[in-house]
A and B are shown apart, each in its own frame.
Chain A
Amino acid sequence: MTGNPVEIGVVADEYVLGLLDAADMLRIEAEMDRDPELRAAIAASRERFLPLDETAEAAIVGDALWRRIEDGLPAQRAERKVSPTATANDNRAGGWRATALAATAAAVVLAVALTFSLMRTVEPLVVAVLVNEAGDIKAIVEDFGNKTAAVRLLADVAVPEGKTIEVWTLPSPARGPVSLGRIDDARSARLDGPALPEPHDSQLYELTLEPAGGSPTGRPTGVILAKGFAKIPR
């Protein structure tokens, strides 16, 4: 940011009105996290225009919409299993930025993946783009339900001697993570997993590094290589 209050005011308003292009919008969102002046300017701009939203008459919404929302809710951080490697960096702004960028990149890959999957006869029920902590795309998981899934590695993954990559999903917080199988030679593979409920929107998938032969506990024990949430192809 320039630090010039007039400039900040202009950018904040244009952001709130939705007049910035997608790249500028992402940049502002990243900037907002560490620049209190910009944050204040955006907050003020939102409050200025809010009365226009308050003119909207409430549509009648059925319970179905709420059910769809509820079905898609992931577990909150506090309820989730804490990964020992995830807390090393407390720089929230950085992480947030990475997530924003990753989301954009992931959308692109997802589009490619979906195009690809449209050309086949068997459709995956969900597709998840998996990214590492830095937001780099590492893999795509396609879950066909019916005990089969496919994992496609999109980057080289270094697997140390005596280790393997294991693929996990979280069908529900109550059940906890379930292994879909291992990819022993670190290549794209088809997996025959256990019988699970049909995969749902926003279901978590992740890859971890485990001892050769798979996790000794039946739960992820090693470093998370990549993770992502499922989307339903439409």
Chain B
Amino acid sequence: MSKGAPPDDLTTALAACATGDRAALRRIFDREGGRLVTIAERIVRRRDLAEEVVQESFIRIWTQAHQYQPDRGSARGWIYAIVRNRALNLLRDGRREYSVADVEQLQERDQVDHVMAAWHRLDHTSRLRDCLGALEENKRRGILMAYIGGYSHGEIAGRLRIPLGTTKSWIRRGLSALRECMA
């Protein structure tokens, strides 16, 4: 990681949040809120749930802003991680399955399209793009489904029609190859 040496706007805004500056939280919301709703929606698959995730996440960003340190990565990565984790937790509570059970099949194709669309939109000059591109198709798909769509090992195994154990070890190997490639 070579970037982020001078504190960026988000780092400054987080520091201000920790002192009780609501306008700073608003700045983060104005800048990132819309994109965070999309990121959450890719995982929870419903706009209303995605907004709920973002709402709860911003309260968490506010209450935990004092814990942010640069050794936790970029301010942006830290903020996004809060939203992603909140969305994943909501999935684990079973709300996605429960609430979309009947339309699941209709949405399934769209959802896989979402995952692949993100892959195609990925900056073609980025290192991540190169390194993911170097992976075998199934490993790449598995990693993208997990990260973008919030799929579990079991869901990925089912979608790709691969045994669970194989899926887990493929993803692990894919992740290791990715780490080496990007090091």
Contacts and interface: CB of A to CB of B under 8 A. Distances in A.
A18 B38 contact: no
B179 A78 contact: no
Contacts, number: 154
Contact of B175 (A14, A25, A58, A96): A14
Interface in A1-59: 6, 9-10, 13-14, 16-19, 21-22, 25, 36, 39-40, 42-44, 46-59
Interface string B32-70: 011101110110000100110011001100110011000
B13 interface: no
B104 interface: no
Interface stretch (A69-77, A148-156, A185-193, A218-226): A69-77
Contacts of B88: 18
A59 B148 contact: no
A25 B171 CA distance: 18
A60 B59 CA distance: 20
A18 B73 contact: no
B151 to A, nearest CB: 9
A53 B80 contact: yes
A128 to B, nearest CB: 15
Contacts of A49: 128, 147
A116 interface: no
Contacts of B67: 92, 96
Interface of B is mostly: helix
Nearest to A111: B93
Contact of A40 (B63, B71, B171): B71
Interface string B108-127: 00000000011101110010
Interface string B4-41: 00000000000001111010011001000111011101
Contacts of A43: 1, 71-73, 77
B22 A50 contact: no
Interface in A51-103: 51-61, 65-66, 68-70, 72-79, 92, 96
A75 B20 contact: yes
Size class of the contact patch on chain A: 35 or more
Interface residues of B, number: 66
A9 B22 contact: no
A10 B171 CA distance: 10
Contacts of A21: 92
B72 A39 contact: yes
A69 B175 CA distance: 36
Nearest to B81: A46
B19 A59 contact: no
B34 A66 contact: no
A92 B175 CA distance: 32
Contacts of A50: 74, 76-77, 80
B141 interface: no
A202 interface: yes
A200 to B, nearest CB: 12
Nearest to B175: A13
Interface in B151-183: 152-153, 171-172, 175-176, 178-179, 182
B1 A47 contact: yes
Contact of B41 (A14, A36, A59): A59
B171 A68 contact: no
A79 B18 CA distance: 10
18 contacts: A10-B175, A10-B176, A17-B171, A36-B71, A46-B77, A47-B74, A54-B35, A54-B123, A58-B34, A59-B41, A59-B47, A61-B34, A69-B59, A73-B62, A74-B59, A75-B20, A76-B17, A78-B20
Given A48-B128, A73-B59, 5 more contacts: A10-B172, A16-B81, A19-B152, A60-B34, A65-B51
For the complex of A and B, list the 7 residue pairs with the smallest distance between their C-beta atoms, beginning with the closest.
Answer: A58-B34, A43-B73, A76-B20, A46-B77, A55-B121, A56-B38, A59-B37
